[in-house]
């Protein structure tokens, strides 16, 4: 169930999980409910023992150094934060203050759902570079690479020259068959964030450029 009115909005996380085709997924609550004051979303995992929250930090070029709060609203999980394991049954709240700290979670019960809320301490909320490309992942997953590319363009209006957005521009241009544009964007991206070199080496989006000497030079 999802309902939105001028004064409030409603999303049923349980129904989203029940209707989902994939075992693991993300509910974009900020977009679905048009939340403007903070970042918020939910992740779900249908199977115990599988990844619920992928390992990440909030310090890379796609992030905005947000603090992050996780609340287990259904099921249970094991969180690993900065190397420490934390058992988190339903009702547990885990706050990660340090944007540089790595965090991840594995579901320990079928049908686990975790709510995540983020923002920068002492500052008005703004979309991170990744979130500023709104609609990107939905378009990408649907194979609509032109629309995904346009989403990256929207993000670059807010974050000109951002390495994360440029890397995704490179991916989309490669999938659309524009090798020159892909290589140009990739070159700008890896100069700013060297770890993207290794990521590009193993990214299937660049399969069509694997044998191009210019690509090999960029990612080596």
Q: Give the residue extent of every domain in the chain.
A: 2-119, 129-219
Q: How far apart are CA 75 and CA 71, in angstroms?
A: 11
CATH of 2-119, one of 3.90.230.10, 3.30.565.10, 3.40.50.2300, 2.60.120.10: 2.60.120.10
pLDDT digits (tens, 9 = 90+) for 32-74: 999 989 999 999 999 999 999 999 999 999 999 999 999 999 9
| Burial of residue 201, with CB atoms counted within 10 A of its CB: 0-12 exposed, 13-18 middle, 19 or more buried | middle
pTM of the model: 0.83
CATH of 129-219, one of 2.60.40, 3.30.450, 1.25.40, 1.10.3470: 1.25.40
Q: Where are the alpha helices (DSSP H) in the chain?
A: 13-19, 29-33, 129-132, 136-141, 145-158, 163-175, 179-192, 195-201, 213-219
Q: How far apart are CA 174 and CA 180, in angstroms?
A: 9
């Amino acid at each position: 169930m999802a309902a939105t009115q001028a004064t409030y909005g409603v999303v049923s996380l349980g129904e989203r999980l029940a209707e989902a085709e994939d075992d693991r997924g993300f509910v974009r609550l900020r977009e679905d409910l048009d939340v403007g004051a903070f970042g918020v979303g939910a992740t779900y995992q249908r199977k115990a023992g599988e990844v619920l929250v992928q390992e990440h930090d909030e310090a890379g070029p796609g992030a905005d150094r947000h603090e992050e709060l996780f609340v287990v609203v259904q099921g249970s999980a094991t969180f690993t934060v900065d190397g420490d394991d934390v058992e988190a049954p339903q009702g547990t709240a885990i706050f990660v203050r340090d944007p540089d700290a790595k965090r991840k979670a594995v579901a320990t019960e079928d049908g686990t759902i975790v709510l995540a809320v983020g923002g920068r301490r002492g500052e008005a909320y703004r979309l991170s570079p990744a979130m500023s490309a709104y609609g990107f992942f939905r378009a990408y997953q649907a194979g609509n690479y032109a629309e995904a590319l346009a989403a990256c363009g929207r993000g670059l209006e807010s974050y000109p020259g951002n390495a994360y957005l440029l890397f995704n521009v490179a991916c989309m241009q490669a999938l659309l068959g524009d090798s020159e544009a892909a290589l140009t964007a990739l070159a700008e991206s890896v100069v700013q964030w060297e770890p993207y070199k290794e990521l590009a080496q193993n990214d299937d989006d660049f399969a069509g450029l694997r044998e191009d000497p210019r690509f090999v030079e960029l990612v080596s």
